Amino acid sequence: MLKHKNAIVTGAGSGIGFAILSKFAENGANVWAFVHKQTSELEEQLNQIAQKNDVWIRPVEFDLMDEGTVKKSVKQVLSESGKVDILVNCAGIVNAKTLGMTSLDEMRQSMNANFFMPSLIMQLVSRKMMRQKSGNMINVISRAAPEYRPGAYAYGSSKMALLWGTKAAGRELAPYGIRVNGIAPGLTETKLGTGRQSEEDIERYVSANNIKRPAQPDEIADTVLYLASDMSSYVSGQIINCDGGRY
């Protein structure tokens, strides 16, 4: 499905990002795996995935909170690559606090990690894609963005900014043959998802879903794979809710 495609996946070291990386490799894509810290264990996992699927996976360390390392890492990839076909912005941070309990510094951190840096990466990668006259960008947003629920002030606001940016970029880049879409996952079985929730909170969340359980990372990755492939060739500027039918 993605044979001979080259993809950048941020946040690829764990959770949804790792599931996306694995799914892309299984479908023939080469991947630059942007991770916060490269460990020997992670390197071994990536080597096994690459060998199993006859692709290459190159880990790239970057700090989502540091504009300098983001620029350096992305420019390194762009300088060494012949073509970048796919960008997935998956890396981000969570801040689960109300307005009154969220400091301005925490708001800035959320906007930096969840909107400014993904936007910067899109800017840098889009220049190469514009020269190619082709490309595909997918932003992992969150179901929290349009939900306006209490207790996620900075997180929801920063993800809503990315949602708006995704739709705007979809229009701006379409003339260059670049598709930009987003996916808004619901609660997922990851360290940053169910891993930080109590059993009561998880039950409260899934009780408002048609499918009465959290998502598995692979289920989110399947939707990203659809958006990254030619199966979605007529989909542009859209946000797909992958939330189990939340109401």
> When comparing pLDDT for 82 and 90, which is higher?
90
Strands 30-35 and 135-140, bridge-based pairing: unpaired
pLDDT for the residue numbered 82? 82
Average pLDDT of the chain?
96
Distance of alpha carbon 108 from alpha carbon 118, whole angstroms: 14
Element holding 61 (H helix, E strand): strand 57-61
pLDDT digits (tens, 9 = 90+) for 17-76: 999 999 999 999 999 999 999 999 999 999 999 999 999 999 999 999 999 999 999 999
Strands 86-89 and 57-61, bridge-based pairing: unpaired
Distance of alpha carbon 45 from alpha carbon 155, whole angstroms: 30
pLDDT digits (tens, 9 = 90+) for 98-118: 999 999 999 999 999 999 999
DSSP string of 190-219, one letter each residue: STTTGGGS-HHHHHHHHTTBSS-SPBPHHH
pLDDT for the residue numbered 112? 98
- Which stretches of the chain are DSSP H helices? 15-26, 40-53, 67-80, 104-111, 117-132, 153-173, 199-206, 217-228
Q: Indicate if the pLDDT at residue 5 is higher than 80.
A: yes
Write the CB contacts of 156 (distance below 8 Å, at least 6 apart in sequence): 142, 144, 145, 147, 148, 149
- pLDDT band per the 50, 70, 90 thresholds, residue 196: confident
Strands 135-140 and 6-10, bridge-based pairing: unpaired
pLDDT for the residue numbered 149? 85
Instruction: Quote the percentage of the chain above a pLDDT of 70.
Output: 100
Domain 6-239: CATH class, spelled out? alpha beta
Average pLDDT over residues 7-17: 97
On whether the CB atoms of residues 71 and 120 are closer than 8 A, the answer is yes
Q: Indicate if the pLDDT at residue 81 is higher than 80.
A: no
Distance of alpha carbon 139 from alpha carbon 158, whole angstroms: 13
Which residues have a catalytic role annotated? 155
Average pLDDT over residues 221-243: 98
